[in-house]
Structure 1
Amino acid sequence: MTSESAQASEKDGGIPAATIIIFRNAPSGGPPEVLMTVRSRAMSFAGGMAVFPGGRVDPADYALGESVAAQHGLAPDEAAHQIAAVRETLEETGLALGLSGDITAETAAKARKKLEETGELAPVLEAFGWRLDLAQITPFARWFPKNEAISRVYDTRFYLADLGTGAVEVSIDQSENTHLFWTTAQGALDAAERGEIKLIFPTRRNLERLALFASYAEARAQAEAIPVRTITPRVVEEDGKPWLTILADAGYPVTAELLETVARG
Structure 2
Amino acid sequence: MESASTHEEIPAATLVVFRHARDGGPPEILMVVRSRDMSFAGGMAVFPGGRVDAADRALAAAIDHGLGDDDEAAHRIAAVRETIEETGLSVGLTRKIDASEAARIRDDLIACGELAPVLDRHDLALDLAALVPFARWCPRGMKHNRIFDTRFYLIDLGTGAVDIAIDRTENTRLFWTSAQAALDAADKGDISLIFPTRRNLERLALFSDFAEARSHAESIPVRTIVPQIGDREGRPSLTILEDAGYPVTHEPLDEALRG
**TM-score bin (small chain):** over 0.9
Distance 2:172 2:68 in 1: 34
**Shift in Å at residue 167 of structure 1?**
1.4
Rounded Cα–Cα distance in structure 2 between residues aligned with 1:222 and 1:53 = 21
Q: Which of 154, 159, 174 is matched with 1:160 structurally?
A: 154
Tell whether the 8 Å contact from 1:235 to 1:245 is kept in structure 2 after alignment: yes
Q: Which amino acid aligns with 2:139?
A: P
Of residues 52, 76, 79, the one that matches 2:47 is: 52
CA contact (8 A) 2:119 2:125 kept: yes
- C-alpha displacement at 1:174, in angstroms? 0.8
Residue 25 of structure 1 aligns with which residue?
Answer: 20
Do the aligned partners of 1:247 and 1:255 also contact (CA within 8 Å) in 2? yes
Q: Give the match for residue 40 of structure 1.
A: 35
SS of residue paired to 1:261: coil
Following the alignment from structure 2 to structure 1, what is the Cα–Cα distance between the partners of residues 206 and 70? 32
Query: What's the CA shift string for 1:121-166, capped at 9, x where partnerless?
Result: 0000000000011121101000000127531110000000111111
* Aligned residue number for residue 185 of structure 2: 191
Structure 1 unaligned regions, length at least 5: 1-9
1:96 corresponding residue in structure 2 = 90
How far is 1:101 from its partner?
A: 3.6
Deviation of 1:228 after TM superposition, in Å, equals 0.5
Match of 1:170 among 154, 164, 177: 164
Q: Does 1:227 align with 2:221?
A: yes
Q: Deviations over 1:108-127 (max 9, x none)?
A: 11111010111000000000
**Cα contact 1:98–1:134 (8 A) shared by 2:** yes
Partner residue, 2:107: 113
Distance in 1, matches of 2:76 and 2:170, equals 20
Shift in CA distance, 23/153, structure 1 to aligned 2, threshold 3 Å: same
Q: Partner of 2:9 in structure 1?
A: 14
Distance 1:167 1:26 in 2: 11
Q: Which amino acid in 2 is paired with 1:94?
A: G
Identity of aligned residues (%): 62
C-alpha deviation, 1:173, in angstroms: 0.6
Q: How many residues align?
A: 255
User: Is the contact between residue 101 and residue 129 of structure 1 (CA under 8 Å) also seen in structure 2?
Assistant: no
SS at match of 2:50: strand
Q: C-alpha distance in 2, partners of 1:11/1:226? A: 31
Report SS of the residue matched to 2:183. Answer: helix
Backbone CA RMSD of aligned residues = 1.6
Corresponding position of 1:3: none
**1:200 aligned partner, one-letter code:** I
Contact 2:7 2:140 in 1 (8 A): no
Aligned to 1:132: 126
- The answer to whether the aligner puts 1:80 opposite 2:74 as a matched pair is yes
The amino acid that maps onto 1:145 is P
Question: Which residue does the alignment assign to 1:6?
Answer: none
Q: Provide the rounded CA distance (Å) in 2 between the counterparts of 1:233 and 1:101.
A: 39
**Inter-partner Cα distance in structure 2 for 1:146 and 1:185:** 25
The TM-score normalised by the length of structure 2 is 0.95
Q: 1:254 to 1:214 in 2, by over 3 A?
A: same
Query: TM-score normalized by structure 1?
Result: 0.93
Q: CA deviation at 1:106?
A: 1.4
Q: Of the candidates 200, 204, 209, which is equivalent to residue 210 of structure 1? A: 204
Measure the CA separation in 1 of the matches of 2:176 and 2:159: 13
Asked whether the 8 Å contact 1:102–1:130 carries over to 2, the reply is no
Gaps of at least 5 residues in structure 2 are none
Residue 195 of structure 1: SS of its match in structure 2? coil
Moved over 4 A (4+): none
SS of the equivalent of 1:132 reads coil
**How far is 1:19 from its partner?**
0.3
The aligned amino acid for 1:263 is L
